[in-house]
Amino acid sequence: MSDKVVAELQEPTPSVGDGGPDMIQLLTPEGQRVSHPDYDRYVENLSADDLRSFYRDLVLIRRLDAEGYALQRQGELGLWPSLLGQEAAQVGSGRALRPHDFVFPTYREHGVGFVRGMDPQSSLQLFRGVSQGGWDPQENNFHLYTIVIGAQALHATGYAMGVKMDGNVGTGDPDRDTAVICYFGDGASSQGDVNEAFVYAASFDAPVVFFCQNNQWAISEPVTKQTRIPLFQRAAGFGFRGIRVDGNDILATYAVTQHALDEARSGNGPLLVEAYTYRMGAHTTADDPTKYRVSAEVEEWKFRDPILRLKTYLAHEGMADESFFTAVDAEADVFAAELREGCVTMKTMPGETMWDHVYAEDHPVMEAERAAFKAYQASFEEAI
């Protein structure tokens, strides 16, 4: 091991800071509402019912994540990528979307899929390995998870160009104008695919919002080792605007994403949103974060918990009482039991279904490959 590598390993873990003065925040970690001249208008019409439904989504998503983690540890799933700590970034941005907008997720957006109306069993199907993808992307305008880091940025940009060529941008008709949103992490922002998507989207004013969840760690690499400037400032180098938002503040992520989507739908081109948040758990269940980060950092971020801050705000403003929070917890218990029962009783799909959706119509090559596969499987039965 070189002296340089040894020296780097001996460096203290860098402080992640508080997001800096450019970060948009509408709800402090203490649950206090703060005003912002540009973004208040996006949340001022939210009712108490709306805010309580935000809270419910946050709690159910956290429970989904906890069950996914536990099921993997009990051998019921092959892998689980946790979103613990990132619930507000996902629910806030997901609730800002219109039904006809289209989402291109990475593999951690269980919360976005939930608020888009996707059956939560779908992501469990994928990680249990009993389906070839988990869901039909057209049902909720929510694309399949992309495991290849950053590749979905190119898919999203291409889809956005299709939306533009169909004339569904800048018409002024809210039921027609469409935006595309692409989720990725801070590590993916260093990938070539993402940077190529930035170049193309900026050059052709593609109606796409690049939503980066900066959870501070690209597996074991801190974001401070990936960039010398805040991630949102990278957009300027490609010729479009970037905004940093408190990713643990559901009101701010909802407001900023609404603004970004409006810009895209209006024909003003792409925009980068950096949701400044933190991955409280492991990168996936195949990872051990105690090998590369200190517990003090995790403890610090517990004070910025997205659920606790909204709960505090609701209670302080008299918009929810203890009976409401108890009812949500009880609903989460039922939700978790149904998830678990649904997961352990899932049926494995026949292997030949992998050819079913390669082409929209039957294709002779697919038919031949399917037949060869079935014959191969049958050969094992004959050998018994």
pLDDT (tens place) for every residue of the chain, 384 residues total = 456 544 544 454 445 578 899 999 999 999 999 999 999 999 999 999 999 999 999 999 999 999 999 999 999 999 999 999 999 999 999 999 999 999 999 999 999 999 999 999 999 999 999 987 879 999 999 999 999 999 999 999 999 999 999 999 999 999 999 999 999 999 999 999 999 999 999 999 999 999 999 999 999 999 999 999 999 999 999 999 999 999 999 999 999 999 999 999 999 999 999 999 999 999 999 999 999 999 999 999 999 999 999 999 999 999 999 999 999 999 999 999 999 999 999 998 888 888 888 898 889 999 999 999 999 989 987 776
- Active-site annotation holder among 283, 304, 309, 370: 283
3-state class (DSSP) for residue 243 = strand
Active site residue 292: yes
The b/e string for 309-321 (b: 16+ C-beta within 10 A; e otherwise) is bbbbbbeeeebbe
- Active-site annotation holder among 116, 259, 265, 279: 279
Provide the edge-to-edge strand list for the sheet that holds 208-214.
Answer: 102-104, 180-185, 208-214, 271-276, 241-246
Active site residue 316: no
Q: Which residue's entry shows tokens 């109606």?
A: 207
Active site residue 143: no
- Residue 352 burial (CB < 10 Å; 0-12/13-18/19+)? middle
Q: Count of alpha carbons within 13 Å of 216, Cβ hemisphere only?
A: 27
Q: Which pTM was predicted?
A: 0.92
